[in-house]
């Protein structure tokens, strides 16, 4: 297998169809990225809790999309994902995109329900690591990991203590994994504000129609995958594609 200068896989002795595992694939950025990768000839293993939404993605993308319904915080579901990934052959990309916002409206930390905080950390920190522990041995040499982060990981926005601190923990976890696995490209990727259900829940009752659609962020993420710079934290703005 060889990779040309824009990151496209080319045929050598046999054709290798690149494979990605994407969590939170039924909506928002996960769905938009699944669509874009399928258009490039990739096979996508997509997971999310809403089976009906996953079915719609599968109906749109056909055989390029393998739907595995379940919750990433469930160990049995993660084991199933690993089983499906092993059956699909070497992985080229893992995208930990599934996230949990927490209560809406978001409370200040002094009032944050601790059971809710634990749930946010289970989804945003523990589950991504657990998935990577299960599938890192399946990643092809030179494979890519993208953990979807947020500017709330680095900016102390009042009311964002639960989600923001969880994403900060994910950033540090990602950085350490990158140091421990120099053979892989491992990134925290901050997509910026997007017009998604979770972003709407963060601002209940407000008009967020001025936020960009997730599809507009995908070109920057694809450029990251194509260029594969040194592992680290990056934002969509770093890889903005001129129009």
Is pLDDT above 90 for 203? no
Is pLDDT above 70 for 9? no
Which residues touch 189 (CB under 8 Å, ≥6 apart)? 146, 147, 148, 149, 221, 224, 234, 235, 236
Domains and their CATH numbers in the chain: 17-239 (3.40.50.720)
Is pLDDT above 70 for 15? no
Q: Is 50 exposed, middle or buried (0-12, 13-18, 19+ CB in 10 A)?
A: exposed
Note if the bond before 233 is cis, omega within 30 degrees: no
What is the pLDDT at residue 198? Answer: 61
> Cα–Cα distance between 113 and 118 in angstroms, integer?
9
Average pLDDT, the chain: 88
pLDDT tens digits, residue range 99-122? 999 898 999 999 999 999 999 999
Residue carrying structure tokens 């059971």? 115
Q: Which of 8-22, 40-54, 71-85, 193-207 has the lowest mean pLDDT?
A: 193-207
Using CA of residue 172, residue 177, residue 180, residue 184, what is the dihedral sign? negative
What is the pLDDT at residue 200? Answer: 54
What is the pLDDT at residue 37? Answer: 98
pLDDT tens digits, residue range 132-188? 999 999 998 889 999 999 999 999 999 989 999 999 999 999 999 999 999 999 999
Task: Please give the positions annotated as active site.
Answer: 163
Is pLDDT above 60 for 6? no
pLDDT tens digits, residue range 16-66? 789 999 999 999 999 999 999 999 999 999 999 999 999 999 999 999 999
What is the pLDDT at residue 13? Answer: 33
């Amino acid at each position: 297998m060889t990779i040309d200068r824009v990151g496209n896989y080319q045929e050598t002795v046999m054709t290798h169809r690149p494979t990605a595992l994407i969590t939170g694939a039924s909506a928002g950025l996960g769905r938009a990225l699944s669509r874009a990768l399928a258009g490039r000839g990739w096979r996508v293993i997509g997971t999310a809790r809403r089976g009906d939404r996953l079915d719609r993605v599968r109906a749109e993308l056909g055989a390029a999309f393998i739907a595995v319904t379940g919750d990433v915080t469930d160990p049995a579901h993660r084991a199933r994902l690993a089983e499906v990934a092993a059956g699909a052959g070497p992985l080229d990309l893992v995208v930990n995109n599934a996230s949990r916002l927490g209560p809406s409206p978001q409370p200040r930390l002094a009032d944050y329900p601790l059971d809710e905080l634990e749930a946010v950390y289970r989804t945003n920190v523990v589950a991504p690591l657990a998935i990577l522990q299960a599938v890192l041995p399946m990643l092809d040499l030179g494979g890519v990991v993208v953990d979807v982060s947020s500017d709330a990981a680095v900016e102390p926005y009042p009311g964002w203590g639960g989600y923001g601190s969880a994403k900060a923990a994910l950033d540090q976890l990602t950085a350490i994994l990158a140091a421990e696995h120099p053979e892989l490209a491992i990134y925290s990727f901050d997509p910026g504000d997007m017009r998604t259900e979770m972003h709407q829940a963060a601002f209940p009752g407000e008009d967020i129609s001025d936020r960009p659609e997730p599809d507009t962020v995908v070109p920057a993420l694809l450029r990251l995958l194509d260029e594969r710079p040194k592992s680290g934290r990056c934002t969509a703005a770093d890889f903005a594609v001129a129009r």
